[in-house]
Amino acid sequence: MGKTIYATFDGHVLCPDDAIELEPNTRVKITIETDEEPKIKRKSFLQTARSLKLEGPADWSDRLEDYLYEDDKRK
């Protein structure tokens, strides 16, 4: 028999929000699943990249290979 109940963990024990109709000393199987969404939302790569406010040449996207792999001919 399965039943979904809600409870709050007080740091030591789970406290059911409502009364449970079980005889004392009845063994149960408990599956823990949090009811709340994670409070910290992760940023996407694009959001992170934009937040860095990087500056560079206007043609970065057109000449990426040149900037990454070109020998420094100016030395």
**C-alpha distances in Å from residue 49, one per residue of 26, 44, 52, 58:** 54, 9, 5, 16
DSSP string, 4-69: ---EEE-SSSEEESS-----TT----------S--SSPPPPHHHHHHHTT----TTTTTSHHHHHH
Per residue in 5-64, pLDDT (tens digit) is 889 889 999 999 999 888 999 999 988 888 777 677 788 888 888 888 888 888 878 888
